[in-house]
Amino acid sequence: MKRMSEKIRITYNGETFEADKGVRAGVFIKEKDAQAGDALAAGFNGAVIGLNAPLEDDGELRAYTFADAEGRDTYWHSTSHVMAAAVKKLFPGVKVAIGPAVEEGFYYDFDREKPFTEDDLAGIEAEMKNIIKENHPFKRKEMGLEDAKKFFAGAGEIYKTEILEGIDAEKVSIYETGEFADLCRGPHLTYTKKIKSFKLLKLAGAYWRGDEKNRMLQRIYGISFPSQDMLQEYLDRIEEAKQRDHRKLGRELDLFSTHEEFGAGLIYWHPKGGVVRKEMEDFWRDEHIKNGYGLVFSPHIAKIDLWETSGHTGFYRENMFDTMNIDEMQYQLKPMNCPFHILMYKNSKKSYRDLPLRWAELGTVYRYEKSGVLHGLLRVRGFTQDDAHIFCTEAQVEEEIINALNFVMHILRTFGFKDFEVYLSTMPEEHIGEKEAWEKAQAALNAALAKAGLKYDVDEGGGAFYGPKIDIKIKDALGRTWQCSTIQVDFALSERFGIDYTGKDGNEHRAIMIHRALMGSLERFFGVLIEHYKGAFPLWLAPVQVSVLTITQRSDEYAAKLLERLKVEGIRAVLDDDNEKIGAKIRKAAMEKIPYMLIIGDKETEDKTVSVRLRGGQEAKGVDFEGFIKRLKEEIKNKDIEIREI
């Protein structure tokens, strides 16, 4: 509320101060906090503002640095404006579209007839350095909507004028950086010299507004940091990420392939990848049976009526493939498994004594994704979901969620993931079901998270259209997060399908449905595993666990016997008895990331022992072969993540 006097009351770092009305946020912060010299933006009454913004009302103020998401976004967004200013100066005919901060860095979309090249990026970086050195201020101006339309139309900026056509406001804000002016809400840094170190990373194509029917624009991605050391650390991490790229390793290790000429977003599992998948599936099935789940299998298509009842045609249509005509009726490839499990449930009457019912399926589903977002194993159009549905009473919901949370953690930790981010995703704008049911479901998820002792953040509006959910993101070896596991409480589909059970009172009651996935999809989880381990899987997952290498042909017979013994014991082993030097054989096995190598020469043949070389390079000679087999079997049974030293 505005005060009548020329003074306002500002709360900062827990203390309340009186200040002149109109004082700039950055000036106030600098006066009250000697340690806030690295502030990049400010927060005032819940809004992110620039340090040059005047404070007109009473309120709570805080400083944002690069350590804060709000500070990083401001830093990266400002750098994107500097990049756009450089592009406009170097290539005057270019039209600009949008240039936001993203999760890591920024991008800007440009419309230019001639494609940008890597050499162009070097020139743009040089011009950006000039703009930064000139230390231009980021000036915010307000302009009437019609004046803004005339301004950008006069400059030939067709994308800005199109954006303005969709704005319903009397005024808009524009930021100027030197000669460059951009339609922008901000906030921004105070001066360009605040930007210390940056790098333009790559070029890409992007359709205007993400619509394939629109013009293809050229997108330039970049990153910036307050210090060169931070930038170098990031670039090193990016280089490491390139080495871990599952698409690169998938080719090198012969794990899987894609064939866009015969269908984009579809995965071909090769024999070595198939072995890893088998181990994943066997472990998954065994653990589900131990935890009281029944294993089910469902069709890949159904009449469109099923998806109309479930609500998918109304809320999920854009992610579904076109229908197919069979016997003059419309059928739909399944995007999810849940309606099939519901039909199985309704196949016979259920009593409260039957509940909870836990049914799990490795069900292959098909979802339409735009070609521009397809990405190896991580974003596909056909994938196998490790799906499960729990049918229970309302009183059982909380306990079943806790059990599911514990199950998730057990599965993920077994695969070697230790760090997690947990989110409670609440009711989205477009949803089915009554608000009261959503509130009950969210309360159950809240209570289960509290009892499980898991810290979590709230993702407002991030729930599925049929219910709120818990999302669990795993952190890989590089600290990147991946969305895999989810637990969703669903009152809505229970109502739509009439999922009932007979209670103790002899009356019919509505069952509650819990959707649950542990790995998410086998394809995506496999991609994450490849990158997490850099293709060097733990022994229990490795496509080949032992390679037997001979030094001379004199050892071939003994080596062949060792190979047979390993196979009898269920250990995946190969024999390399080619007429090559042992160094070349070791390099080949190392390139294939095989955990153990048995090197067999004259001495090993004579002593009936083996020399063991680990994937990491450690060696041990004169090892008892039977003891080695026992050790391997224990390591496989325990699903050890690290390869044990000899």
What residues act catalytically?
A: 338, 367, 385, 387, 389, 469, 515
Whole-angstrom distance, CA of residue 638 vs CA of residue 620? 23
Give the pair of three-digit tokens for residue 393.
């009473």
Tokens encoding 103: 């999760």
Q: Judging by DSSP bridges, how do beta strands 457-459 and 420-425 pair with one another?
A: parallel
Q: How far apart are CA 600 and CA 554, in angstroms?
A: 10
Hey, what are 303's tokens?
């009449």
DSSP code string of 533-585: HTT---TTT-SS-EEEEESSGGGHHHHHHHHHHHHHTT--EEEE--SS-HHHH
List the Cα angle 14/16/21 in 5-degree steps: 135
Q: Judge residue 506's burial from the number of C-beta atoms within 10 Å of its C-beta, 0-12 exposed, 13-18 middle, 19 or more buried.
A: exposed
DSSP string computed for 333-371: E-S-SHHHHHHHHTTS--BGGG-SEEEEEEEEEE----G
- What type of residue is 117? T
Give the whole-angstrom CA distance, residue 270 versus residue 275.
9
Give the separation between CA 601 and CA 251, rounded to whole angstroms: 32
Residue 279's nearest CA partner among 525, 532, 642 is: 525
Tell me which residue of 261, 310, 324, 330 sits closest to 433, measured CA to CA: 310
Q: For residue 559, what are the contacts with CB-CB under 8 A and spacing of at least 6?
A: 548, 549, 550, 575, 577, 598, 600
Give per-residue burial for 397-433: e unless 16+ CB within 10 Å, then b.
bbebbbbbbebbbebbeebbbeebebbbbbbeeebbb
The closest alpha carbon to 361, from 316, 445, 299, belongs to: 299
DSSP state of 316: S
